[in-house]
Structure 1
Amino acid sequence: MLLAFSAGIRGLLFGYDTGVISGASLYIRDDFEAVEKHTWLQETIVSMAVAGAIIGGAFGGWMNDKFGRKKSILFADILFITGSLVMALVLNPWVIIVGRIFVGLGVGIVSMTSPLYIFEASPARIRGALVSTNGLLLTGGQFLSYLINLAFAKTRGNWRWMLGVAGVSPLVQFILMCFLPESSRWLYRQETEGSMGDGVFSKLKSAWSNKVVRRGLYAGITVQVAQQFVGINTVMYYSPTIMQLAGFASNRTALALSLITTCLNSFGTILSMLFVDRFGRRRLMIVSMIGIISCLIVLSIMFFQASVHTPPYKPGECLTVDTVTRGTCRAQNRTWYTYGCPSKFGIFTVLHLGLYILSYAPGIGTVPWIVNSDIYPLRFRGTGGGIAVVSNWNLIVSETFLTLTETLGSAGRFLLFAGFSTVGLVAIFFLVLETKGEGARKRI
């Protein structure tokens, strides 16, 4: 349990990062006019952590096989601490991007290492539940990030504190990991087959030429891609912005409502821990995807109705977006609507967003990490997991959220994700076998 908690702090790191940037970005755009004027710059600040995670995930598998699980986690912690300090001390938005890349590199490495490390130390009967602690800490990190965002919302240098505090949890993990052993299965692999001296590309070639590994990759990549294309990162990275699109203009109100999604995410992860070893991985993912598709369709309808039933405009209500006008408005204690308009559908949108999270968390939210820890032979476990992680860190989704909103509208964006989710459900049904129990790998 100590090992699962210590390694699972990886989830806390990732969860805090996704939650904190969604709140901090509201204040970053207030401090930097260029960020407010250029949608692509705000998207880049948010998504560069994903770009770093792609690179980190690509080399994380090789690092795991070459240097072991423990050293990989320690190295990722150093990267995460560095990135947090850089973001907290920046003077312009471009340096924030550099810090986000450092954080992403750390997240990419540890995102596949921690579940693997926990998996290799867990007995089969509770293996799924212990790996799910990683997901529970992830949702806990998201909840913590919104609390911290609210705490620093009216503090001078608010977003700097929000981003800087992110360096605390990797420091705690680094200290705890120093007292934990290396994975016994990795040590066994070292002892029986010698040093894993293969380079990255030769390792990839060997993995792909192995029929068992290749079949596992079909399943592993499928579940990781499906996890991203249900649109979850847009919800987690831009949750306060979505709340504003639904008609809640205040930054603090949007942050407070975002706490609902993180609480439900944590509750859903607990459900996964209770049922994943009992009902199986594949069944949970299929039920989860059906619920997600239903919620996305309803959300699309809700946002469309909200756009149709916005209050009628009056002369002077459509104002030029600039710092002077916005400052004058707020100085008179008026509400400044940058995204969306007040609507009677806003509260129903928040409720269905909660149902979406409840559908996501117990299944497709946590199970892909369990599956990818389970389906590869020991020799290729790090490489296979690394390839799957790269496919999980999808830059397209987070980089295009605001652009898609401007182009398709909120309703069209959610409908698009419903279409992607339907494709993901079909792929999971045909490509993913059950991996519950000791004999699962024989079936694969």
Structure 2
Amino acid sequence: MPAVGGFDKGNGKEYPGNLTPYVLVTCIVAAMGGLIFGYDIGISGGVTSMPSFLKKFFPSVYRKQQANESTNLYCKYDSETLTMFTSSLYLAALLSSLVASRVTRQFGRKLSMFFGGILFLAGALLNGFAQAIWMLIVGRLLLGFGIGFANQSVPLYLSEMAPYRFRGALNIGFQLSITVGILIANVLNYFFNKIHGGWGWRLSLGGAMVPALIITVGSMILPDTPNSIIERGRHEEAREELRKVRGVNDVEEEFNDLVAASEASRQVEHPWKNLLQKKYRPHLTMAVLIPFFQQFTGINVIMFYAPVLFNTIGFGSDASLMSAVITGIVNVVATMVSIYGVDKWGRRFLFLEGGVQMLICQVLDFLLAVIVILFLTH
């Protein structure tokens, strides 16, 4: 049975509420927005390692890959156009996130998710039917715009819908859908690469339409969050929605706090300037440095380019794609452990455990690299 009640660690108040089937289903559907991001992370590296894809769009890379000369395998992927194909998505996501934040706030989380799904769907169609490199680049840009909207709205939607006691687990559902999307993409790449005729890459790129349709349709049927409804001034509607999502009638205390928080946020002048005040600097510093150094470990490069990386160290095409599948499985399992423990062990414990684990792995990687270099030079 789901536990009753939730606790707001921010103000020390405990609000009544259940993890109702209604909330669980809406959060699962919304979390599927992470699939579009995860699928693209997993699919791109696999596609760029497929000879048929390289032969059609990046013939210079294909010729280097097929050459028998003793060239560094990594240098065979040296192509500015190929780099543009992979990186254009992230540039578009960065730019769209600036617009998506305003759309999410003023028009609601649902509309932002809908925009993300539509843009991603258009990008997937363009990539799947691509006949020229410009179609790939434009498609990637549309995918990036879609990801910018989805990544802005989905985590916020999950946080606002979930009861406080289960907020950590349900919010990590977004991360779980990302890892599942990566794994699905890696598995599809492995099997689509075996299709005779060299058109399997079209199925890999076009397959992004499936998660795009899920989040697009889901955004049309999901309810809006009480917080979002309050921000747009419809208080009575927000109160009824809060009763529905919490599964109890006694929501007045939480509702009043949400209204007060919304009013307080409206009265804040120059919010960006306020962040630079001395009292907020420690929080701002940690909020920037923690994700920065987490990304700086290089994990996104490994997940994004896993098949290419395995290929450059001598793995065959199938072996590279299967190695990426194994990496994806480990990623999903680790995320499920986090979902189980985030509200049981706490965020700090998982944060410290993850940091220690990454540190140990980075040290071992460094030592292994030193050993290999010493072995090759002697």
TM normalised by structure 2 equals 0.74
Structure 2 counterpart of 1:105, one-letter code = F
- Residue aligning to 1:149: 189
SS in 1 for 2:227: helix
Distance, in Å, in 2 between the alignment partners of 1:50 and 1:304 is: 33
Specify every segment of 5 or more residues in structure 2 that has no aligned partner in the other structure, as ranges: 1-23, 63-76, 234-258
**Alignment CA distance shift 1:112-1:19 (3 Å):** same
- Residue aligning to 1:268: 334
State whether residues 48 and 54 of structure 2, in contact with CA within 8 Å, keep that contact through their aligned partners in structure 1. Answer: yes
**Does the alignment pair 1:169 with 2:204?**
no
State whether residues 104 and 152 of structure 2, in contact with CA within 8 Å, keep that contact through their aligned partners in structure 1. Answer: no
**Does the alignment pair 1:10 with 2:33?**
yes
Distance, in Å, in 2 between the alignment partners of 1:285 and 1:129 is: 14
Distance, in Å, in 2 between the alignment partners of 1:213 and 1:49 is: 32
Distance, in Å, in 2 between the alignment partners of 1:55 and 1:11 is: 19
- Residue aligning to 1:240: 307
SS in 2 for 1:26: coil
Count, aligned residues: 306
- Residue aligning to 1:66: 106
1:266-288, Cα deviation, whole Å (9 max, x unpaired): 01001111111122223322221
1:150-202, Cα deviation, whole Å (9 max, x unpaired): 12103231212110111111112211221111111111122269x99x9xxx9
1:229 aligned residue (282, 296, 318): 296
After the TM superposition, which residues 15-414 of structure 1 pair with which residues of structure 2 at under 5 Å, given as runs?
15-27=38-50, 28-31=53-56, 32-36=58-62, 38-155=78-195, 156-191=198-233, 205=272, 208=275, 216-248=283-315, 250-306=316-372
**Alignment CA distance shift 1:217-1:190 (3 Å):** farther
State whether residues 85 and 136 of structure 2, in contact with CA within 8 Å, keep that contact through their aligned partners in structure 1. Answer: yes
**Alignment CA distance shift 1:77-1:210 (3 Å):** farther
Identity %: 28
Distance, in Å, in 1 between the alignment partners of 2:307 and 2:293 is: 24
Distance, in Å, in 2 between the alignment partners of 1:186 and 1:211 is: 30
Structure 1 residue 7 displacement after superposition: 1.1
State whether residues 123 and 139 of structure 2, in contact with CA within 8 Å, keep that contact through their aligned partners in structure 1. Answer: yes
**Alignment CA distance shift 1:35-1:83 (3 Å):** farther
Distance, in Å, in 1 between the alignment partners of 2:213 and 2:332 is: 23
Distance, in Å, in 1 between the alignment partners of 2:151 and 2:270 is: 20
Distance, in Å, in 2 between the alignment partners of 1:222 and 1:190 is: 33
**Alignment CA distance shift 1:277-1:210 (3 Å):** farther
Structure 2 counterpart of 1:288, one-letter code = G
Structure 2 counterpart of 1:53, one-letter code = A
Distance, in Å, in 2 between the alignment partners of 1:54 and 1:237 is: 17
Distance, in Å, in 2 between the alignment partners of 1:241 and 1:268 is: 23
1:188-244, Cα deviation, whole Å (9 max, x unpaired): 122269x99x9xxx9764664677876654333233222311111111111012222
Distance, in Å, in 2 between the alignment partners of 1:87 and 1:203 is: 41
State whether residues 116 and 145 of structure 2, in contact with CA within 8 Å, keep that contact through their aligned partners in structure 1. Answer: yes
